[in-house]
A and B are shown apart, each in its own frame.
Chain A
């Protein structure tokens, strides 16, 4: 039973981690909590729903191969969400750069409410049900049951994180992101286009959030326009848990949060599922204010 809870926790934790990365990346370069990030995740889930519903209208080579089709769904949803992230920054944050710190935060909340209502009006207030495409049949192995879908989710979230890690540490653009996050002023002086770096950061974060959205949609099968609220708050918690601004921290925080929730709900009472997560958050903030992997800094909230 312990292993089962652990597996459940890792599955949901992977999606927390993917969303948390978006918070952490943006915080790194802008020192801003992008509270509209949860809505990008929700929009990703809706895009996944729309695309998967289109399966019967797809060309036969896609209909024949489920993995290929899913790859296309993930790709398109992530691409469109990247655009959402790009324009979100351009419209809601860029004009406010240099404004007092509270101003972009309020703008973020406004963007979040706008996006939520936009989806409610365009897609309806009802729950949307995903067509059940991938295997939901449970496979049992040594007392642990899982579905092929669950494995797909775990592996793709790890693969996406590896991809991001490579992007941040091994590419020129990634180096520029790291430089900007260390000191935006100096980065600009050495010739880094800070505006481009910020746009790329938003796009990368949205890309990951969209993938998490599609995964969660597939996993739970029903989505609605309020999905981004709790998802966003949980992922934000994960980012703070690991140390906001710290990329490996967000990954660790995400998985940890998922596992704590699963074990807490499994061994004590599921009524207090959210209580465990937020209790741990408070404890970490009290004893390690910079998060588990974060470094102390005056900038941090």
Chain B
């Protein structure tokens, strides 16, 4: 009996300790979650560096609420299961706000964990509408949505490229398939969809699907997915003699696409936000980022702004408590590197302009 009591007391003491550490530690913890390893790791490191820059700038000014900010990275390996594990780890570590995740298929299951724990989450890159359709008050995003992106891509295809026959490929993920369906929906009646194919992520051989696409003879091939598969598809499509250009979304907007696909990627289109290297508000960000981490990735600035929004909201809330921070984020009127950001009732940005980019001379350039 005595033994049992001792065990019980020790247990209680441990619970008390972890609780104290979590809520009233000497630092305020911010989580940054994404694919830090694996084939898409470049998106993860772009994000992490963006958040790091924001945290370093705040710490240099004395932190937030008089405390230093600690950045806790979480590697979800672009896997939904791993994303939930990362989310649970953040909760037990007492993280007060999260930037991430990158993939919609990761963000959606993870957001449930954050919702239960009352931790605000701002995704820098998830474009699938479902994320904010869940009705969670603590979930936000600073990027656009696939219904807007799908429409932008479809409008460009119909109005500018004047295509008649379109082939659609997607990677069967929440993001890829969702984006592909939005694109298809917005094409209108004048365009014939000659193929609608799903591919397996992580595979290397896409020769059967590109052969099939080629024989359907499209004017344009749409791809909903990430650059790893996108690069291989474009390359293999050109190798079987295909000639139609590809169009994709934010998932293929990476220098890595050009490396994987090689010269075959020339003339490929992608929908994305406007060029942040040109907008004046991002000038300071670009300079500071370059000094520390080299050329910013396309999503670095989004992650940087997401981190700043969380930190500013903690300051305003006056407490490192997720439940108090969330309403501050919702009400924020933020002017950052991306320009002006305000959230609507669902947690989406109020204005999100998509533009089309094109690969010219082995570089992505905004189509004017």
B262–A221 contact, CB under 8 A? yes
- Which A67-122 residues have C-beta < 8 A from chain B? none
- Which A112-145 residues have C-beta < 8 A from chain B? 125-127, 129, 132, 136, 138, 140, 145
Contact of B204 among A5, A140, A145, A220 (CB under 8 A): A220
User: With A12-B205, A138-B240, A274-B200 in contact, do A266 and B211 touch (Cβ < 8 Å)?
Assistant: yes
Q: Which residues of B contact A11 (CB under 8 A)?
A: 207
Task: Mark contacts of A142-154 with chain B using CB atoms, 8 A cut-off: 1 yes-contact digit, 0 otherwise.
Answer: 0001110010000
Q: Which residues of A contact B42 (CB under 8 A)?
A: 126
Complex CA–CA separation, A110 to B212 (angstroms): 40
Known: A127-B228, A264-B208. 14 other contacts (CB 8 A): A5-B208, A8-B207, A8-B211, A8-B240, A126-B42, A129-B260, A136-B238, A138-B240, A140-B241, A221-B235, A261-B208, A263-B208, A270-B206, A271-B199
Closest to A11 in B: B207
- What are the 10 tightest A-B residue pairs by CB atom distance, in nearest-first order? A145-B241, A265-B208, A8-B207, A270-B209, A271-B198, A125-B37, A266-B208, A138-B241, A220-B204, A129-B259
Q: How far apart are A234's CB and chain B's nearest CB, in angstroms?
A: 10
- Which A21-60 residues have C-beta < 8 A from chain B? none
Complex CA–CA separation, A136 to B241 (angstroms): 10
A273–B208 contact, CB under 8 A? yes
Q: Which residues of A contact B332 (CB under 8 A)?
A: none
Closest to A129 in B: B259
Number of interface residues of B (CB under 8 A): 37
Closest to A131 in B: B262
Q: Which residues of A contact B41 (CB under 8 A)?
A: 125-126
Greatest chain B CB density within 10 A among A1, A140, A220, A227 is at A220
Q: List 30 A-B contacts (CB under 8 A).
A: A1-B212, A4-B211, A5-B208, A5-B211, A8-B207, A8-B211, A12-B205, A12-B207, A125-B37, A125-B39, A129-B256, A129-B259, A129-B260, A132-B262, A136-B239, A136-B262, A145-B239, A216-B204, A221-B235, A224-B39, A227-B204, A230-B203, A265-B209, A270-B197, A270-B200, A270-B206, A270-B208, A270-B209, A271-B172, A274-B200
A145–B240 contact, CB under 8 A? yes
- Which A188-233 residues have C-beta < 8 A from chain B? 216, 220-222, 224, 226-227, 230
- Which B126-176 residues have C-beta < 8 A from chain A? 172
